[in-house]
Chains A and B, each alone.
Chain A
């Protein structure tokens, strides 16, 4: 049972435009969410996180939005740059002490110059 889903395996965006990556989850106990970015032949690197007490968190060009009622989060990248081309994973956890993040299958973003 896949508790974290990224239904778009890939996305192409023109440089300078907005990239929107989506993630849905099914477990209502999840209350902490992260986005990781992964380049080929490297491990995932942390990008941005949000806890369920917020509905938005912003860090430079990256903003994560959380819609708890819809069990949906999204990552906005504005403006998109060619260096943003990577696979983006969303991950979710409940803060009850499990230390376990459940990852989605990733969305490959390609930013076209």
Chain B
């Protein structure tokens, strides 16, 4: 049983297109994240949602819009795709504690986005 799943696994698209990546977790976690791993292998957080509420929003172009319909899902929509958006995008989830961080984050398998 896959704990954190992402679709699609691969995405090849033209510049200027709009695309979405979906993420679902069946771990009962309250917090979900999107990370981007660029060509230099930096794994950098983009967004985090807790119970459908945005709690982390890094300096990400507003072409990227996360949407959380419920706490088990966090989708990432990207408008007007650019060449520099090519990367691997990882979704993750964790429990939420009042103490803040310190919870293990569980990652999905990644979505490899290539913008031509």
Contact = CB atoms under 8 A, between A and B. Distances in A.
Interface residues of A, number: 25
A72 to B, nearest CB: 20
A105 B55 contact: no
Contact of B100 (A34, A95, A106): A95
A41 B109 contact: yes
A97 B106 CA distance: 18
B100 A96 contact: yes
Nearest to B58: A100
Given A42-B110, A43-B90, A98 B4 contact: no
Interface residues of B, number: 29
B31 interface: yes
Interface string A57-96: 0000000000000000000000000000000010001111
Contacts, number: 70
Contacts of B42: 2, 103, 105
Contacts of B4: 43
B86 interface: no
A105 B41 contact: yes
B83 interface: no
B77 interface: no
A45 interface: yes
Nearest to B43: A103
Interface of A: 2, 32, 34, 36, 41-46, 49, 51, 89, 93-101, 103, 105-106
